[in-house]
Amino acid sequence: MNEYALQLKNITKKYHDGESENIVLKDISLNVKHGEFVAIVGPSGSGKSTLLSIAGMLLSPNSGEIVLNGKCLSDEKQKNWTKIRRKQIGFIFQNHQLLPYLTVEDQLKLVKNMNKKVSLDVNETLKELGLKDCAKKYPSNMSGGEKQRIAIARAFMNNPDVILADEPTASLDGTRGRQVVEMIKKEVMKHNKAAVMVTHDERILDLVDVIYRMDKGILVRDN
């Protein structure tokens, strides 16, 4: 096993706006080990979400390399990116993005059916995360905290190497937000995953292993 689950090497992302050029990410590098929980904080518009999208292979950089488990994926054909994401990356979105017409149990089964190599059991996963009572519920019958916890369960369902969380506490109060991040931390440690969380919430930073701060497209590690 490679020491690092995720590496971003000299990532630059820029957009053209007429004749002007807007550089969103400036030569950014990031290394995340297996079992390590990393937070990226910074003001709106600093480039945090763009960096997360590139790490999750949802967006291409203008230059630089994306490396998962020691394998450089930047030169992979775009048509292979979906397959790589499905097998190696789990996403936790700010608005959880649950399908309204599926029960919790069926949400997780859908993920499992998309990746035939997944060995995780849906009911065991729900039980482990304290969500067994939600198995037959639809999203409309759950609280915001429950929905976000289901989103976490879904992210871990395909047994990915890397978890990417985009503002997972944004729609929750302080107590529920902390519970959600504690849940991510527990699963990262237990299953030796790498996790990167973009957040504005400074109150939960004591739960992560490493903190980076981003401003104007530049990423700096906290001492």
- Tens of pLDDT along 11-29? 999 988 777 888 899 999 9
- Res 146: pLDDT: 86
Looking at the 3D structure of the chain, how many domains does it have?
1
> pLDDT value at position 87?
85
Least confident of 74-78, 157-161, 166-170: 74-78
As separate numbers, helices (DSSP H) first and strands (DSSP E) second, the chain gives: 6, 10
Containing structural domain, residue 77: 4-221
Beta-carbon contacts of 169 under 8 Å, excluding residues fewer than 6 positions away, are 148, 176, 177, 178, 180, 181, 199, 201, 204
Cα dihedral 54, 49, 26, 192 in deg (nearest 10): -60
| Two tokens, residue 132 | 């067994």
Does residue 114 register a pLDDT over 70?
Answer: yes
User: What's 101's domain CATH number?
Assistant: 3.40.50.300
Contact 151, 111 (CB under 8 A): no
The closest alpha carbon to 92, from 190, 160, 6, belongs to: 160
Tokens standing for 133? 């009572």
Look at the block and give the residue holding tokens 């945090």. Answer: 48
Quote the tokens at residue 129. Answer: 């995360």
Quick check: helix, strand or coil at residue 150? Answer: helix
Calpha distance 206→188 (Å, rounded)? 15
Residue reference for tokens 């429950």? 146
Confirm if 193 and 161 have CB atoms less than 8 A apart: yes
Q: Which amino acid is at 214?
A: M
Residues whose CB falls within 8 Å of the CB of residue 190, separated by 6 or more in sequence, listed in order: none
pTM of full prediction above 0.85: yes
The sign of the dihedral angle between the CA atoms of 187, 33, 194, 216 is: positive
pLDDT score for 16: 81
